[in-house]
Structure 1
Amino acid sequence: MPPSQAALWRDPALPHVESRRACHSRACYKAHSHPTFSIGAVDAGHSHFTGAGNGQERLTPGTLVLVPAHRVHACNPAPGHAWSYQMLHVDAHWLTQLRRESGLDIADTAAPARICREPAVYRQFCEMNRVLFSSASNAEKDAALIAFLGDLDCRAHAPLLAAPGLGASALNGLLARVEDMDPAHLSLELLAREAALGRYQLIRAFRAATGFTPHAYLLNARVNRGRQMLGEGQALAEVAYQLGFADQSHFQRVFKAHVGMTPGQYRAD
């Protein structure tokens, strides 16, 4: 049987969020609560959850539990078995501010936990958590978190979240601003202020207009520019530097994810 493994991600630069991964765990927990809004995801095995207001629920792989701050709950593996899970904790005051930016005033501390069994939401959660544990910039990690939480609220409170729009002039101005920014320091706050939108509203409107979040758009634009520069014979290190990547290895990872080959392979072909 594989040994139990656990990993914790947190960063002083993003004090409003932390995440945990556990594989093949047999740890059991007493009923407890957190001062944070918490999301748990079952990756493998089965578990029993209390806190949703319906007695004990059996959770299968691909299930999420959404636990309001201070809600008493417990989640444990089936007796005699191991399970794998992810657990995200988000500062409740930070989340309240994020929601207010979008026009939501949700006081859910007295509400029971919610159980989500939608495969698409589980996949989105896993991708967001993968970004948190990756070597992506803090700005990119924060944007991934904001996008996921905003989409989650949008599913639950769609009538209250009117879709924001961007006119052609405003969109062109934002595109120009995004392309001029350092990828590691692309500021959602600054762009949102300029567009007179909340941070999630900006992501949602930008995604509706371009198919990309601002960070994804910037990376795609950088990769396309990199293809041109590599085709002109420029050195990999110089291309990475000119495009604003932290280092050559970061540029190689992003380039391969978009193009399907490394920059060196692309230039050689």
Structure 2
Amino acid sequence: MPSPPAAILRHPDTAFELISLHGAQRFPRHSHDQYGVGLLCEGAQRSFSGRGMVDALAGDIIMVNPGEMHDGQPLHCQTRRWHMLYFPARLLEAAADAANLSPFGQTLLPPVSQDRRLTAAIQQLTARLLDSATPVLARDEAAAELLSRLLRFPHGQPLIASGHANLEQVRQMLCDCHDASLRLATLAAQCDLSPYQLLRQFRRQYGITPHAYAAQHRLQLAHRLLHSAAPLADIALQCGFADQSHLTRAFKRQYGFPPGRYRQAAT
């Protein structure tokens, strides 16, 4: 039986985005530029995180920090169902400022938690986002409660900090250049390393290979551009994909749904 389609929900009066997925899809290693907080409702999964490999079971909270490399696959060949709330880092930064916590740095969320009060806060905000009749004030209160619960986790430097200056130069080149003919030797020459040394050091620093990093960056750019009115074909070319079909395949593999479906929820 095919899995139900992804549910994507966004209200114009909130910065939270609710993504609900159900299936056995395996997600490649990638990162988001937002926080992600949610509940694994059914099944189980194993995933890489900034703290190593972790397992999550039904009922567990699953979380990801901005810039944190992670992936996900079902355990024991089970399908899994989960709800995720994504929101920009500025929301938690503002909450930290109000609580005089910002000097301690970024809030570092663990990949898995069983915190009961946080579970209740996630369930409350999810329910209020799903109910279109919920007053804006009630959604605001649920969002504030969730953020206050998240601030109880430790604060510190990002899990994946900027790398060595030479590796950072390579990373920036991967973000700026969408040329499919870019060679590993060209990147290695930027930091006086052999291609083999660059591959090993880049993967150690950023969690993925240079090619995977470039592909992920193009998808993140496409994700942001889907909020514009630009045609999908134009977005694909602007982000370095061969065509719209290429973008659609890559986008669905990383996010679990095609870009067209995401755009419908974004407008």
Q: Is the 8 A contact 1:53 1:112 kept in 2?
A: no
SS at match of 2:27: coil
- Sort the Cα spacing of 1:114 and 1:43 in 2 relative to 1 into closer, same or farther, 3 A: same
Instruction: Give 1:47's match in structure 2, choosing from 45, 49, 67.
Output: 45
Instruction: Give 1:36's match in structure 2, choosing from 34, 37, 47.
Output: 34
Query: Match for residue 122 of structure 1?
Result: 119
How far apart are 1:93 and its partner, in Å?
1.6
Query: Match for residue 149 of structure 1?
Result: 147
Query: Match for residue 68 of structure 1?
Result: 65
Q: Output the CA distance in 2 between the equivalents of 1:69 and 1:83.
A: 23
Q: Is the 8 A contact 2:8 2:17 kept in 1?
A: yes
Q: How do 1:99-248 and structure 2 match up within 5 A?
A: 99-105=96-102, 106-108=104-106, 113-135=110-132, 136-153=134-151, 155-156=152-153
Q: Is the 8 A contact 1:22 1:86 kept in 2?
A: yes
How far apart are 1:84 and its partner, in Å?
0.5
* Higher normalized contact order (CA 8 Å, seq sep 6+, divided by chain length): 2
2:6 aligned partner, one-letter code: A
CA shift digits 1:156-203 (9 cap, x unpaired): 369xxxxxxxxxxxxxxxxxxxxxxxxxxxxxxxxxxxxxxxxxxxxx
- Sort the Cα spacing of 1:90 and 1:142 in 2 relative to 1 into closer, same or farther, 3 A: same
1:11 aligned partner, one-letter code: H
How far apart are 1:114 and its partner, in Å?
3.6
Q: Output the CA distance in 2 between the equivalents of 1:157 and 1:82.
A: 32
1:4 aligned partner, one-letter code: P
SS at match of 2:31: coil
Query: Match for residue 94 of structure 2?
Result: 97
Q: Output the CA distance in 2 between the equivalents of 1:11 and 1:37.
A: 17
- Sort the Cα spacing of 1:145 and 1:39 in 2 relative to 1 into closer, same or farther, 3 A: same
Q: Output the CA distance in 2 between the equivalents of 1:6 and 1:124.
A: 22
How far apart are 1:52 and its partner, in Å?
4.1
TM-score under structure 2 normalisation?
0.52
- Sort the Cα spacing of 1:36 and 1:126 in 2 relative to 1 into closer, same or farther, 3 A: same
Q: Output the CA distance in 2 between the equivalents of 1:30 and 1:142.
A: 33
2:54 counterpart of 1:57: yes
How far apart are 1:70 and its partner, in Å?
1.0
TM-score under structure 1 normalisation?
0.51
Instruction: Give 2:74's match in structure 1, choosing from 69, 72, 77.
Output: 77
Q: Output the CA distance in 1 between the equivalents of 2:111 and 2:6.
A: 25
Q: How do 1:3-42 and structure 2 match up within 5 A?
A: 3-14=3-14, 16-23=15-22, 25-42=23-40
Aligned residues: 153
Q: Is the 8 A contact 1:71 1:113 kept in 2?
A: no
CA shift digits 1:83-129 (9 cap, x unpaired): 000111111123211220121114237x5744212344323311221
Q: Output the CA distance in 2 between the equivalents of 1:141 and 1:75.
A: 29
Q: Give RMSD over aligned pairs.
A: 2.4
Q: Is the 8 A contact 1:128 1:144 kept in 2?
A: yes
Q: Is the 8 A contact 2:109 2:150 kept in 1?
A: no
Question: Any stretches of 5+ residues in structure 2 without a counterpart?
Answer: 156-267
Q: Percent identity among equivalent residues?
A: 19
Whose Rg is larger? 1
How far apart are 1:30 and its partner, in Å?
0.7
Q: Output the CA distance in 2 between the equivalents of 1:114 and 1:35.
A: 16
Q: Output the CA distance in 2 between the equivalents of 1:112 and 1:90.
A: 13
1:18 aligned partner, one-letter code: E
Q: Output the CA distance in 2 between the equivalents of 1:63 and 1:100.
A: 29
CA shift digits 1:133-169 (9 cap, x unpaired): 112123321221111110232x3369xxxxxxxxxxx
1:45 aligned partner, one-letter code: G
Q: Output the CA distance in 1 between the equivalents of 2:109 and 2:148.
A: 20
1:21 aligned partner, one-letter code: S
